[in-house]
Structure 1
Amino acid sequence: MRPPMVGIPAPRFVHSCTIRNNSNGNIKVQILYSGPAPEGQGVQQEASTVDIPVGGYIRAKERSTNHGSYQTRKEIAAIKVLRANGQKQKIVAPFEGVNGIELNWVFIVDNYKIHSVNPHPTTNIF
């Protein structure tokens, strides 16, 4: 009889994304990136903030850290939304539906929440 297989799950990282504002108001979005520090000690975080008008979208590009002889990709660790009425929302990694390493995941902000959406090529999200 074979011994049971033991392993670790595949990484569930999002390196870049598209964020679409399907809500009834303008939103301010903060994208928090996380990755190994350049010195190799600890974690380095970086934030990017952008305004998205009603019906608009942004593409958050991949970020990386230079370690001299090699580079590492930062992962998107969280997305925070500030609405015009002062309401705040946040979604954190691992994001729903992400089962591997993703290079252009989709997040849709509606009037109620932030949705993590698989950008399957047969789905028309725009």
Structure 2
Amino acid sequence: MSCSSCCPCPKFIKSCSIRNESSGDVQVYVSYKKLGYDLGDSDGHQYDVTISQGETHRVEPRIVKHDLAFYNSQINKIDVTLVDGNQLHVEEPFDGVREIQNDWLFVINDHGIKSLSAEN
């Protein structure tokens, strides 16, 4: 996707993979930006999953229907609770995202969450 110089290119993530390279299992909460016509709760939608040490989990796109159209919700925040109880988070704008991404990679370690192209 290429953007013209007359307008800024949208920069968001539709779906992602999350790899756990920390020293134990992690609890992950993925938050989606609430769309104006999204009939869900007022804070948007949240997806949570436990990811075992060394595993990768795929977070599928969230599709919202409005009238006859379908829209992709954008991931806007990831919160992680490590096995020792420490909490990490990363939120928009995500490092390296320069256009709409169908898949992105987040890598969790004991000190933070890295935002990487899915090709890594």
Shared fold per TM-score greater than 0.5: yes
Aligned counterparts, 1:1-126, within 5 A: 7-38=6-37, 45-120=44-119, 125=120
> Could you tell which deviates more after superposition, 94-103 or 8-17?
8-17
Distance (Å, rounded) in 2 between the aligned partners of 1:102 and 1:27: 24
State the Cα distance separating 1:111 from its structure 2 match: 1.4
Which of the pair is proportionally richer in strand?
A: 1
Q: Which runs of 5 or more structure 1 residues have no equivalent in the other structure? A: 1-5
Over the aligned positions, Cα root-mean-square deviation in angstroms equals 2.0
Distance (Å, rounded) in 1 between the aligned partners of 2:34 and 2:13: 12
Segments of 4+ in structure 1 off by > 6 A?
Answer: none
State the Cα distance separating 1:87 from its structure 2 match: 0.5
Distance (Å, rounded) in 1 between the aligned partners of 2:27 and 2:115: 17
Count of residue pairs the alignment pairs up: 115
**Residues 42-74 of structure 1, C-alpha deviation per residue, up to 9 Å, x if partnerless?**
x76100110001001110000011101111110
**Residues 80-119 of structure 1, C-alpha deviation per residue, up to 9 Å, x if partnerless?**
0001111111100110000000011000001110000112
- Asked whether the 8 Å contact 2:28–2:78 carries over to 1, the reply is yes
- Asked whether the 8 Å contact 1:64–1:73 carries over to 2, the reply is yes
- Asked whether the 8 Å contact 1:36–1:44 carries over to 2, the reply is no
Q: Which runs of 5 or more structure 2 residues have no equivalent in the other structure? A: none
Name the SS for the 1:36 alignment partner.
coil
Name the SS for the 1:101 alignment partner.
coil
**Residue 3 of structure 1 corresponds to which residue in structure 2?**
none
Distance (Å, rounded) in 1 between the aligned partners of 2:101 and 2:8: 15
**Residues 12-44 of structure 1, C-alpha deviation per residue, up to 9 Å, x if partnerless?**
10000000001111100000011414369xx76
- Tell me the TM-score normalized by structure 2: 0.87
Distance (Å, rounded) in 2 between the aligned partners of 1:109 and 1:77: 17
Paired letter, 2:25: N
Larger radius of gyration: 1
